[in-house]
Every structure is written in structure tokens, then in C-alpha cells.
Chain A
Amino acid sequence: MNVDPDLERLIDREFKALPGPRAPRTLLPRVMTAVRATRPATHAGWFSWPLVWQISSLAAMLLIVLGAANFWPVAADTVVALVSNLAADTSSRLGSVIRETEAVLSAADTIWRVAQPVVVGMLVLLATMGAACAMLGAALRSVVLGGTSRL
């Protein structure tokens, strides 16, 4: 018999009479420290930053904009030159790449024809071993963890 109403009532009554455990004094400081650690200084937005940070961030932004404006013509010329060189090289190399790819594919096809029976056999063996391990694991879990406990 797994449920004894009298015993259930007795234990329930005793439990109800127990005082609730109180949280240790260290819990609140711990939680608040962790909460502050999860909230970055920037959480509240730019307008709530200290004045020094606001001025520094504005100055940094101004420098970045000025720098970009000054260096943009030089950078644009460099990029155009690079792109044109790259386009010329690419067309000549594309032909050789296609030929090399064909050779590699042909070699791979030959290797696959030779190795196919062995590879298929290995895959079947691996699948069988995997299934056996899974079944053994399920059986062990059922026996060790799912069975009725004993005192």
C-alpha cells in the first residue's frame, strides 16, 4: 500500500507546524551585486551618461567624421585601382581554376569507384554499433534510473 491517509495527515500536520526557513542575510547583497553586474553603465542611455562621457563621446564622433571626410578621396582612388587590377587578374585565372577543378573531380570520381564497397561497409557497421549502444543505454537507464527505489 503506497498511500496511508493517516500517515499523510500526520506528516502534513507536522510540516505545517514547521517554521519557514529564512533567507540568509547574505542573499540580498548577493542578488543586488549580481543585478548591478548584469546592467552595463550604458543601460540608461546617452542622456543619462556623466557630462564628461557625453563630451568625450561627442569629440570622438567628431574626430571620426572629420577623418572620414579628409581621407575619403584618397581611399576611393585606392579602392578603384584595386578593383580594376583584381578584375583583370580574375578573368585570366578563372580559366585555369576551372581546368584544375575538373582534374580534381575526375580524380575524386576514380577514388570513389575504388573505395565505395569499403566505405559503405564501414557506414553500415557504424550504424549498427550506434544502434546497439543506444539500445544498451536505454536498457541501462530503464533498469538503473526508472526502477522502483529500495530503502
Chain B
Amino acid sequence: MEHSTTDVQSSSDRFEAFVLEYQDLVFATAVRLLGGRTEAEDVAQVVFLKAFQRFDQIRDSPAAPGWLKTVTRNACLNHLTRYRSRWRLFSDLTSRRGADERDMDIENVAVESGISPLTRLERTETNQRLEQALHNLPDHQRVPLVLFHFEQLSYLDIAKTLGVALAKVKTDIHRGRIALKVALDGM
């Protein structure tokens, strides 16, 4: 069956609306797993291209967010495996531009929530410190930590996903949490 030009245009419009709806979800998953905005944007583009290839199946599916999160997670893990040493000791320092954009996001949310200026300031500082501490964690601690707290994966599932021992996952997550608590207590 042939498609008319109008059909193609409306399909493109529908996909644009789809990207607009889910771009924050995909980007948030990617940026927390990868610890860098530039890499997260690259991965998000790859994920949406995959979504476009099967757009007919997922556009109206209630499973679309879950599918996107799973594809994003796998793409991030592939990216980490391919482009970095997975368990390297030091993570990249985030760029100033990325930090500025993150600060802006946090401030926007605080303004929108209608809380008092002092509480807002304290919360903003806590969030900034926590985000920075999370991004500064080494990959081998940040990735399982994000999978546990943001992706709601169990320790066992994380161990299977990453292909490492369960004890190592628990140890890395525990050490990551301690590092985050130290960062929060240092305020």
C-alpha cells in the first residue's frame, strides 16, 4: 500500500510529539547512568532512532515508556562497555556547560513548586551537591546505584545485567551510598 505525502508528514509530526513527550525520561535515565550530558544526548538520539524504526508498534502502546527505559539502559551499558573501561577508577569531570544547565533545571523545578525561598535554597544546594556527588562517582559505583534507586532493579538483576558477582554489586552500591552521604553531610 502506498503512502501519500500527507501521511508521511503526519507520521513525522506524530513522532515529533512522541519524542517531546518522552525525551526527558530517556535523557534522565541516560544522564544518570553515563554521568555526562553530551554522552547522554548521543545515546538518547540512538534510542529515539530505534523507536522510530518500530514506531508503528510502540506509539500507542502503554508499554512505550518501559520499552524506552529498557532500550536506554541497554544502550548506556553498551556505551560504557564500548567507549570506556567499565570499572575504571575515575569518572570524567562534567563540563561547565552541563553543570550550568543542571543548575538551571534544579532552579526551575524549585520555582515551580512554590516553596519558601530559604527551603528552596537549601533544597537546591542539597540537590546540586547530590547530583554532583553522583556524577563524580566512578562508573562501577554509579551505574549499579542508579539501576537500584532509579530503575528499581534488584541486586540480583543488577548483577545479571552487569555480568558481575552479587557481592560486588552490593559492595559497590554500599560504597557509593557512603560517598553520597559524605557529600551530603559535608554541607
Contacts and interface: CB of A to CB of B under 8 A. Distances in A.
Interface string A35-60: 11010000111111000000000000
Contacts of A96: none
A148 B165 CA distance: 9
B3 A35 contact: no
A127 interface: no
Interface in B164-187: 164-165, 167-168, 170-175, 177-181, 184
Interface string A132-151: 00000000000001101101
Main secondary structure, interface of A, reads helix
A104 interface: no
Interface string B22-33: 011111100110
Interface residues of B, number: 63
Contacts of A10: 181
Contacts of A19: 105-106, 108-110, 127
Main secondary structure, interface of B, reads helix
Given A23-B44, A146-B164, A31 B150 contact: no
Interface stretch (A1-9, A84-92, A113-121): A1-9
Contacts of A26: 41
Interface residues of A, number: 40
Contacts of A44: 2-5, 7-8
A34 interface: yes
A21 B30 CA distance: 10
Contacts of B159: none
A44 B7 CA distance: 9
Nearest to B5: A48
Contact of A149 (B31, B87, B184): B87
Contacts of B181: 7, 10-11
Contacts of B7: 44
Nearest to A145: B87
Contacts of A7: 174, 177-178, 181
Interface string B5-20: 1011000100110011
Interface of A: 1-4, 7-8, 10-12, 14-15, 17-24, 26-28, 30-32, 34-36, 38, 43-48, 145-146, 148-149, 151
Interface of B: 2-5, 7-8, 12, 15-16, 19-20, 23-28, 31-32, 37, 41, 44-45, 48-49, 52, 86-87, 89, 101-102, 105-106, 108-110, 123, 126-127, 130-131, 138, 140-141, 145, 149-150, 164-165, 167-168, 170-175, 177-181, 184
22 contacts: A1-B174, A2-B167, A4-B177, A7-B178, A7-B181, A10-B181, A19-B109, A20-B24, A21-B32, A21-B37, A21-B102, A22-B24, A22-B28, A27-B23, A35-B49, A43-B8, A44-B4, A44-B7, A45-B2, A45-B3, A48-B4, A148-B167
Closest 10 CB pairs of A and B: A2-B170, A19-B109, A23-B27, A45-B2, A23-B23, A20-B28, A31-B48, A47-B2, A15-B149, A21-B28
